[in-house]
Amino acid sequence: MINQNIKIAVDAIVFGYEKNVLYVLAVQQKYGVFKDRWVLPGGFIKDDESLIDAVKRELQEEAGVGVNYLEQLSTFGDDVNRDSRGRIISVAYFALVNPQNFILKADTDAKDARWFPVNQLPVLGYDHNEMVKLAHARLKAKLTYQPIGFDLLDDEFLFSDLENLYCSILERDIDRRNFRKKILSFHILKETDKLVKTSSSGRPGKLFKFDKAKYDQLLEEDFQFEIKFA
């Protein structure tokens, strides 16, 4: 009989987006070998708790953040020495939120919570930088076949906001005219009657909304959301 002494943890890579910058949520540890170091929100699961419930609980407890979109990223445990506390396997999830919807509040074993630009992350504890790198790559890929980017925008947004979001996450320029044509051809955006002045000299821009009901309907009709970037 194999004698196991393995613990299961969860970690969350939470992406936020504001003013053309993609951010990652990190918390500063209050205790342990990584005291005062920045890490991803996370912790051990309870015996009677599902993985997804554990992630949501840890995010709420350590940073005061609630999430709607969560996706399992990967399991980290090949390196048996990844955690000095013992043999610990971590199931990583990533989430997308609008930072303006939250006031960060560190609690339990976190002494601080903060948004860091994804390209200015400090050296995180454990293998958390590796988790962020993998999650960022997954996010870039998903933008081409699933409209998850709308979770990072306000309910109503300028089309240029959507363009800038894609540029920021992909870390590259896009063909804006072809992008606009492609997105509008899906008919998943509602054009509102609201106008916003974008500059002192330019014309006001129209605000749009993501039509989730329409998107869900299209999915039932085998609709394929696909955007290709040369």
Mean pLDDT on 19-35: 92
pLDDT of residue 41: 96
Residues 203-228 have a mean pLDDT of 88
- The C-alpha atoms of residue 109 and residue 12 are separated, in whole angstroms, by 15
> Could you tell me which residue, 15 or 148, shows the higher pLDDT?
15
Q: Are 188 and 214 in contact (CB under 8 A)?
A: yes
- What whole-number distance in Å separates Cα of residue 72 and Cα of residue 135? 10
| CATH assignment of 7-142, among 3.40.1280.10, 3.20.10.10, 3.40.630.30, 3.90.79.10 | 3.90.79.10
Could you tell me what percentage of the chain is helix, strand and coil, using 3-state DSSP and rounding each to the nearest 5? 30, 30, 40
Q: What is the pLDDT of residues 148-207, one digit of tens each?
A: 888 889 999 999 999 999 999 999 999 999 999 999 999 999 999 998 877 655 778 899
Number of CB atoms found within 10 A of residue 98's CB:
14
pLDDT of residue 84: 78
Dihedral angle computed from the Cα positions of residues 62, 63, 66 and 69, in that order, rounded to the nearest 10 degrees: -90
Domain ranges of the chain: 7-142, 150-220
Strands 38-39 and 21-29: antiparallel
Strand order across the beta sheet in which 189-196 lies: 157-158, 205-210, 189-196
The span from the CA of 58 to the CA of 16, in Å, is 17
What mean pLDDT comes out for the span 16-31?
Answer: 94
Torsional class of 131: left (φ above 0), alpha (ψ -120 to 50), beta (otherwise): alpha
Other beta carbons less than 10 A from residue 8's beta carbon = 14
Q: How many CB atoms lie within 10 A of CB 60?
A: 16
* pLDDT tens digits for range 62-89: 999 998 778 999 999 888 888 878 789 9
pLDDT classification of 120: cutoffs 50, 70, 90: very high
Domain 150-220: give its CATH code: 1.10.10.10
Residues whose CB is less than 8 angstroms from the CB of residue 158 and which lie 6 or more positions away in sequence, other chains included: 196, 198, 205, 206, 207, 208
